[in-house]
Amino acid sequence: MKNYTFFLTFILVIINLICTSCDPVPSPGISIYKTNGDYFDNADIGMKGDKIFRTSIYSVAMYKFITTDTDTIYKYRIRLRDGYILDFEADSRYDVFLDLTFKQHMSLEKIYPGGVPNDILIDHILDKNPYSVYYRDTAEPRLFGQTIETVDTIELNQIIKEGNLNKYFEKFR
C-alpha cells in the first residue's frame, strides 16, 4: 500500500509540474468577426505557417450540428447583424477556411474515416487569412456566456448596432 501511495503521489506531482510550467492557453471563448467572404457554412482547419496542426473529424462531433436530408448546420456559428458572425470555436491566430462546406467535409470523412488527409485539405484551402475584423471575449469569466445556448444574441446585436464591440471585446484585427 505504501508503494502505491508513493507512486500515486509521484504521478500527481509530475502532472502538476507539467500543468503549471506551461503558459496557460485560454480557450477561444466567443468570437465575433467578419470574414473576407461568406464562409459561414465552410469547414476550417488550423495552420501554423504552412503546417496543418488542427483538423476536425466532424462526424464524431455530431452534437455540434443539426442535420437534415438537405442541409448540415453548424450550431457553433450564428449570424449577427451587419455581417458579423458569432463563433464559439474560432481562433484568429490559426484558422484557415476551406472551400468545403461541413456537409462536403463529412462526405470526405466517409471516404477517409481516420480523417481527411492533409494533402487533400491543402488542396481545398480557400482563405489562409480569412478575418477582416475579429473580436474575442477574453474576460474570465466570459461576459457573454460559456456556451452557445447561454449567449444572448439580442444583446450582442444591440452592442454591434451601438458600435460598442471595443467596449466589451478585445480586438485582434
Q: Is the pLDDT of residue 26 over 60?
A: no
**Confidence category of residue 24, pLDDT binned at 50, 70, 90:** very low
- Which pLDDT does position 22 carry in this prediction? 41
- Which pLDDT does position 163 carry in this prediction? 97
Kindly list the domain boundaries of the chain, sorted by start residue. 26-171
Q: Please give the Cα distance from 164 to 155 (Å, whole number).
A: 11
**Confidence category of residue 142, pLDDT binned at 50, 70, 90:** confident
List of E strands, 77-171 = 77-79, 85-87, 95-101, 125-127, 131-136, 170-171
User: pTM here?
Assistant: 0.79
Q: Which of 48, 67, 43, 28 is nearest to 115 (CA)?
A: 43
Q: Give the chain's mean pLDDT.
A: 85
**Confidence category of residue 105, pLDDT binned at 50, 70, 90:** very high
- Which pLDDT does position 1 carry in this prediction? 55
Q: Is 136 helix (H, G, I), strand (E, B) or coil?
A: strand
**Confidence category of residue 17, pLDDT binned at 50, 70, 90:** very low
The mean-pLDDT minimum among 86-90, 116-120, 138-142 falls in 138-142
Q: Is the pLDDT of residue 18 over 50?
A: no
- Which pLDDT does position 3 carry in this prediction? 54
> Across residues 157-169, what is the average pLDDT?
96
Per-residue pLDDT tens digits for 37-54: 999 999 999 999 999 999
Instruction: Tell the burial category of 65 from Cβ atoms under 10 Å away from its Cβ (0-12, 13-18, 19+).
Output: middle
**Confidence category of residue 91, pLDDT binned at 50, 70, 90:** very high
Q: What is the phi/psi pair of residue 56, to 5°? A: -130, 145
- Which pLDDT does position 2 carry in this prediction? 55
In this structure, the chain runs to a length of: 173
> Across residues 148-158, what is the average pLDDT?
91
* Lookup result for grid cell 504521478: 11
Q: With left for phi above 0 and alpha for psi between -120 and 50, is residue 117 left, alpha or beta?
A: beta
Cβ-based neighbour number of residue 31 at 10 Å: 23
